[in-house]
Chain A
Amino acid sequence: MRGDAPVVLEARGITKRFPGVLANEQVSLTLQHGEVLALLGENGAGKTTLMNILYGLYQQDAGEVLVRGKPVRMRGPSAAIRHGIGMVHQHFMLVPVFTVAENIILGAETSRGPLLDMAAARRHIHELSQRHNLAVDPDALVKDLSVGQQQRVEIIKALYRNATILILDEPTAVLTPQETDELFVIIRSLTAQGVSVIFITHKLREVLALADRIVVLRRGRVVGETRPREASERSLAEMMVGRSVILQVEKQTAHPGATVLALEQLSLNDDRGQQVVNALTLDVRAGEVLGLAGVQGNGQTELVEAITGLRPVRAGRVLIDGQDYTGAAPRRISESGCAHVPEDRQEDGLVLGYSVADNLVLNTYYVAPFAHGIVRDGQAVLHHAEQLVAQYDVRTPNVTTSVAALSGGNQQKVIIARELSREVRLLIAAQPTRGIDVGSIEFIHQQIIAARDRGTAVLLVSAELDEIMALADRIAVIYHGRIVATLPATSASREQLGLLMAGAQPEHL
């Protein structure tokens, strides 16, 4: 075991306060040479804050950071890099129109006089990718790479700066199951060569598969430390949330009714004019959840936008309850009883500068009782908000609080409350629980199932296979803008879905 390996990085009693929030309270942890330490916690538990302190992006209010036993003051990322710490952020920090090599050397250029020494840089990159099985073409443009490949570029970037301690912030959020497996192989090979890895995640399965040790954070404090052998998904979830959680969503058998949403031979272009959805046909019936599984970027986003009237349809038809809504205005589609939980909640689902109350009427502000003619009824809006906040368990000081001040989970509950509190025939939920805490996920899942049981047709688009498998009654797999298979949820396995998502032909399975 690595029990006695030297400690390369240590945090002692780290405390960090933000206005009104204690993000980290007396957090201590150690990272040993060559191990994978999983840092597990809900969103808002303080994982990212802690890592940003270790990487020098924030300064702690109390406590100290030790690198190889010596206390250091991280005055910025450049200090962290000097101490051999590298970080791969959740959102990649790459310049799309630069080559892989250019991205890697950016900020750490090798030069001969005033000139870049690209040859030396490319040699070094080649050597690194050989040593760690990180296959990438140094001359490819980053914009042409898959997400998994871009992540490798980020890892090489850190290694190029001589990082021996690697912090990976939610690295699997954007990967297919197969790509995740590949990443794990890479991480294993890195640790075998003496790199130490901190792996931030909220996915329990991955923690158990990869970690040597697990540290769980809750509300800014370390609440437990364990090893995969001694833990189960259930015990980790309980530690994370502080109470037992139901990982399985309680639901009865679906009783699907008539077809509500019918997509017929739908073809769509993306913003750059490339065709991303190709003669796609799909039905969603009343009282069922249809899960659309697929790796991000296979046309799901565009599909949702087209159904909700936000993207022009190139060919084909969108029918809701048998009526043609192809190319209709978003408001007309919304008024037909179509609710939409958009993928990007802060950008598209909410107006962050608005109060909770105003966000709760963002698409109904113009109808009674919220408006009489063109005059708004502020009291009715507040009254409505008071009710929904209670009913949907939105944790907010009051309904006039700016929605920006709420946690991700509560922001998402505001959207769910807004969309489900009116008469709804069809619910389009895109990534409804991305990046939110387990408690909110559980609540939102219950609400989606409750809507289904009231006879709503639900189209669930999610990058989380677990979510699709937990909620869906039928699962459709999208690959390169086509539905490659539709299966009953009861007969679908993770492996089968993973292969379909990666483009395998159904008949070969």
Chain B
Amino acid sequence: MERAKPPKVDLWGRGRALLRAALIPTTAVLIALLIGALIIALSGANPLIAYSALFEGGLGSTRAFARTLEKATPLIFGGLAVALAFKGGLFNIGAQGQLLLGAIFAAYIGFAFQGLPPVLHSALALLVGALLGALWAAIAGLLKAFTGAHEVITTIMLNFVAFNLTDWLADGPWKDRAPGNIVARTPKVAAAAALPNLGGIPLGMILAALVALAVWWLIWRTTSGFELRTVGQSPSAARYAGIPVRQITVLAMVTSGFLAGLGGAVETLGVVGRFQPGFNAGLGFNAITVALLARTNPLAVIPAALLIGAMQAGASRMQFSSGVASEIIDVIQALILFFVAADSIIHGVLRIKPDDGEHVALSSGWGA
């Protein structure tokens, strides 16, 4: 039998689709920056000076860029975690908690074992961190699948448990007992567990980019990804098609938690070197911004994380040079999130029609 000709790859169409997809997030960022400038001006500072300092601090030098990469790396993992859950119709607000558990367990493996070979030690610490994140998310996944408890509620609650659990571990059983230490933190991880730089690029960043590729492949090229997306798009059609919806829901949360936990572990092993409460505060929430800015596209998570990372990295420089409180960055990030989530505002501003096809289920399951 003759096989039909494969449809031609429409490069022009793909390029246009890509531009179109980038239009909303780009506009959201620009509008957020404009409003941010207005607020800076109202507070009596010069927005141009503030923004150029922000740029300097984030991208102006090799050192600045290194700091941006450092900030962006865990955001990529977190962003991927949130994006993957979104594809399955789940809003994982618990990335923060999953990340904390990943961070502290990676630290534990890092300091508790000595004398392991370097590659093995860091791999083990990463794996255990990721698994703890997965386990933490599994609780919310199981509750959702078998009792219908909404994941937004359960993951928020689990975040509080994770905050306190890690605080206690870092101030109790796993506290750094080095003489002179009075703060709550774990001992430093062994050198063999720490993630090195490869040619100036942090290993964690390389890992993040590879994982982003893997997540993209998983979602778009595998049967599991198809099942995940089908459940996310229409749980009832998925059920009718014989897809085990409960199983997929649990699996989606577990994978999401795995990614978040991995992010926490990378942060511990690659940047901080130990677990210290407060060091990763807000990461899981910024990850939501990253995922939405990337419109849940795993590859777009990388530039989105770099942008947010650069703003974080440049914030203190901005405060130092222009006197603008670094909290303005949080305001701008919140505005970005606002405009990306309420994208009909941007559709109105640009006078474009919302694209059809697969939508991101931002609020699926509310009240259902």
Neighbouring A residues of B240 by C-beta, 8 Å: 308, 310, 330, 340, 342, 348-349
B222 touches A353 (CB 8 A): no
A376 at the interface (CB under 8 A from B): yes
The smallest beta-carbon distance between B354 and chain A, in angstroms, is 12
Residues from chain A with Cβ under 8 Å of B353 in the complex:
19
Is A250 an interface residue, CB under 8 A from the partner?
A: no
Q: Which residues of B contact A350 (CB under 8 A)?
A: 234, 237
The contact of A347 among B224, B225, B237, B359, by CB within 8 Å, is: B237
What's the minimum C-beta distance from B85 to chain A, rounded to whole angstroms? 17
Q: Given known contacts A349-B237, A386-B4, is B221 in contact with A376 (CB within 8 Å)?
A: yes
Residues of A near B255 (CB, < 8 A) are none
A238 to B75, alpha carbons, bound, how many Å?
63
Looking across the interface, which residue of chain A has its beta carbon closest to that of B358? A353
Interface residues of B in 1-21 (CB under 8 A from A): 3-4, 6-7
Q: Please report the C-alpha to C-alpha distance between residue A378 and residue B9 in the assembled complex, in whole angstroms.
A: 13
CB distance from A164 to the nearest CB of B (A): 39
Judging by beta carbons under 8 Å apart, are A374 and B237 in contact? Answer: no
In this assembly, does A375 line the interface, its C-beta being within 8 Å of a C-beta of chain B? yes
Give Cα A379 to B239, complex, Å.
Answer: 25
A334 and B223 form a contact (CB under 8 A): no
Q: Find A365's partner among B4, B223, B236 (CB 8 Å cutoff).
A: B223
> CB distance A366 to B223 under 8 Å?
yes
Cβ of A308: which chain B residues have Cβ within 8 Å of it?
Answer: 240
Q: Residue A123 at the B interface, CB < 8 A?
A: no
CA distance A402 to B243 in the complex (A): 21
343-382 of chain A: CB within 8 A of chain B: 347-354, 358, 362-363, 365-366, 371, 374-376, 378-379, 382
Residues of A within 8 A of B226 (CB): 358, 365, 376
- Chain A residues near B357: list those with CB within 8 A: 353, 402
Decide if B223 touches A371 in the complex (CB within 8 Å).
yes
Contact of A351 among B6, B225, B233 (CB under 8 A): B233
Q: Please, which residues of chain A bring their CB within 8 A of the CB of B239?
A: 310, 330, 348
Cα–Cα distance between A334 and B234 once the two chains are bound (Å): 19
Assuming the A-B contacts A331-B242, A362-B241, A371-B223, are A353 and B359 also in contact, with contact meaning beta carbons closer than 8 angstroms in the complex? Answer: yes
Measured between alpha carbons, how far is A310 from B237 in the docked complex, in Å?
11
Q: Is A136 an interface residue (CB 8 A)?
A: no
CA distance A14 to B155 in the complex (A): 53
User: With A and B bound together, what is the CA distance between A386 and B4 in angstroms?
Assistant: 8
Known: A329-B242, A348-B240. A382 touches B6 (CB 8 A): yes
Q: Within the complex, what minimum Cβ distance (angstroms) separates B360 from chain A?
A: 10
Which listed residue, A330, A347, A349, A379, touches B6 by the CB 8 Å rule? A379
Could you say which residues of chain A place their CB within 8 Å of the CB of B6? 379, 382-383
Q: Which residues of A sit under 8 angstroms from B243, Cβ to Cβ?
A: 331
**Is B4 in contact with A351, judged by CB distance below 8 angstroms?**
no
Q: Answer yes or no: B230 CB below 8 A from chain A CBs.
A: yes
A405 within 8 A of B: yes
A379, B226: Cα distance in complex, Å: 15
A404 at the interface (CB under 8 A from B): yes
A375–B224 Cα gap in the complex (Å)? 9
B145, chain A: closest CB distance, angstroms: 15
With A374-B223, A374-B224, A376-B222 already in contact, the answer to whether A400 and B7 are too (CB < 8 A) is: yes
In the complex, per-residue mask of A452-475: 1 if CB is within 8 Å of any chain B CB, else 0 = 000000000000000000000000
Give the complex CA separation of A352 and B242 in angstroms: 17
Q: Which of A291-332 contact B (CB under 8 A)?
A: 308, 310, 329-331
Closest B residue, CB atoms, query A331: B242
Q: Which of B224, B241, B356 contacts A405 (CB 8 A)?
A: B356
State which residues 62-77 of B face A: CB under 8 Å: none
A329: chain B residues at CB < 8 Å are 242, 244
CB distance from B237 to the nearest CB of A (A): 5
Q: Are B242 and A348 in contact (CB under 8 A)?
A: no
- Name the residue of chain A whose CB is nearest to the CB of B240: A348
With a CB–CB cut-off of 8 A, which chain B residues contact A349? Answer: 237, 240
- Which chain B residues border A405 with CB–CB below 8 Å? 356
Task: State which of B234, B242, B356 has its C-beta within 8 Å of the C-beta of A402.
Answer: B356
Q: Is A382 a contact partner of B7 (Cβ separation < 8 A)? A: yes
Q: Please indicate the chain B residues that have their CB under 8 angstroms from the CB of A365 in the complex.
A: 223, 226
B3, B233, B237, B239: residue with the most chain A Cβ atoms closer than 10 Å: B237
A374 touches B7 (CB 8 A): no
How far does the Cβ of B291 sit from chain A's closest Cβ, in whole Å? 18
Q: Is the pair A352, B234 in contact by a Cβ cutoff of 8 Å?
A: yes
User: What CA separation (Å) do A386 and B235 show in the bound complex?
Assistant: 27
Q: Once bound together, how far apart are the Cα atoms of A358 and B224, in whole Å?
A: 14
Q: Is the CB–CB distance between B236 and A375 below 8 Å?
A: no
The docked-state distance in angstroms from the alpha carbon of A340 to that of B239 is 12
Across-interface contacts of B222 in A (CB, < 8 A): 374-376
With A350-B237, A371-B223, A383-B4 already in contact, the answer to whether A363 and B242 are too (CB < 8 A) is yes
The interface centre, meaning the residue of A19, A335, A358 with most chain B CB atoms within 10 A of its CB, is A358
Chain A residues, Cβ within 8 Å of B233: 351-354
- Shortest beta-carbon distance, A188 to chain B, in Å? 41
Least Cβ–Cβ distance between A295 and chain B, in angstroms: 24
CA distance A400 to B14 in the complex (A): 13
**B223 CB contacts on chain A under 8 angstroms:** 365-366, 371, 374-376
Q: Do A363 and B356 touch (CB < 8 A)?
A: no
CA distance A308 to B240 in the complex (A): 8
Let me know if A347 and B7 touch, CB within 8 A.
no
A382, B186: Cα distance in complex, Å: 54
The winner among B6, B225, B241 for most chain A CB atoms within 10 A is B241
Docked CA distance A340–B240 (Å): 8
Contact B7 A404 (CB under 8 A): no
List of B residues within 8 angstroms of A386 by Cβ: 4
Q: Which residues of A contact B4 (CB under 8 A)?
A: 382-383, 386-387
Alpha-carbon gap, A386 to B2, bound state (A): 13
A383, B242: Cβ atoms under 8 Å?
no
Closest B residue, CB atoms, query A361: B226
CA distance in complex: A351, B227 (Å): 12
- Expressed in whole angstroms, the minimum distance between the Cβ of A281 and any Cβ of chain B is 25
| Cβ of A369 to closest chain B Cβ, rounded Å | 11
10 new A-B contacts, CB < 8 A, other than A349-B237, A376-B221, A400-B7, are A310-B240, A348-B237, A348-B239, A353-B234, A353-B358, A363-B241, A374-B224, A379-B6, A387-B4, A402-B357
Q: What 6 pairs between A and B have smallest CB-CB spacing? A: A331-B242, A353-B358, A363-B241, A362-B241, A330-B242, A348-B240
13 A-B contacts (beta carbon < 8 Å): A335-B242, A347-B236, A350-B237, A352-B233, A353-B358, A353-B359, A362-B241, A363-B241, A365-B226, A366-B223, A382-B7, A387-B4, A402-B357
